[in-house]
């Protein structure tokens, strides 16, 4: 297991913090360790509504604290149930701009008991920065996060 995964695991397993604090720390660690992760945050299904609500994040404040299912990259992942890697956000019609600096985005769904209940969303200021290792790390992380929800 990579050093970063070990550190993420130890945050998620820590008895000292509640879920919200753990997710906030996960965002901080990813933001700190991966230079091209420039906005890192969680969205979760908002009760029984077909919309996402912003959870813990690190990065510039966003206007998109509520995202209807189907809207933007995040809303599309809420209905597709699949990781969405966007190398260049300007090539996407169904995209919600958070910051003019954002050039690329990756969104990975989180499943609990087979239901898509949220996601991790990363924005980058670099074009096409995300590697297969990033995708693998984030998909692993979402499975680990699901265990504490």
Which positions lie near ligand SME, rule CB under 6 A? 39, 62, 64, 67, 72-75, 95-96, 98, 105, 121, 123
Closest residue to ligand SME: CB criterion = 72
Q: How far is the CB of 121 from ligand SME (least distance, A)?
A: 6
3-class DSSP state for residue 61? coil
Q: Are strands 84-86 and 66-68 parallel, antiparallel or unpaired?
A: unpaired
Measured between alpha carbons, how far is 3 from 86 in angstroms, rounded to an integer?
A: 26
36 vs 95 by CB, closer to ligand SME? 95
Q: How far is the CB of 10 from ligand SME (least distance, A)?
A: 27
Q: Between vectors from CA 118 to CA 43 and to CA 81, what angle results, nearest 5°?
A: 130
Q: Which helix (H) or strand (E) holds 138?
A: helix 132-148
95 vs 140 by CB, closer to ligand SME? 95
22 vs 38 by CB, closer to ligand SME? 38
């Amino acid at each position: 297991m990579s050093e970063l995964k070990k550190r993420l695991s130890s945050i998620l397993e820590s008895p000292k913090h509640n879920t919200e604090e753990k997710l906030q720390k996960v965002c901080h660690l990813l933001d700190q360790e991966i230079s091209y992760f420039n906005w890192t945050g969680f969205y979760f299904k908002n009760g029984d509504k077909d919309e996402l609500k912003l959870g813990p994040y690190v990065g510039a404040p966003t206007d998109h604290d509520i995202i209807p299912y189907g809207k933007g990259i995040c809303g599309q992942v809420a209905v597709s149930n699949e990781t969405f890697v966007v190398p260049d956000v300007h090539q996407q019609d169904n995209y919600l701009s958070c910051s003019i600096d954002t050039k690329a985005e990756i969104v990975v769904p989180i499943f609990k008991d087979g239901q898509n209940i949220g996601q991790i969303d990363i924005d980058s200021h670099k074009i096409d920065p995300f590697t297969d290792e990033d995708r693998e790390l984030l998909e692993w992380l979402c499975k680990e996060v699901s265990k504490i929800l």
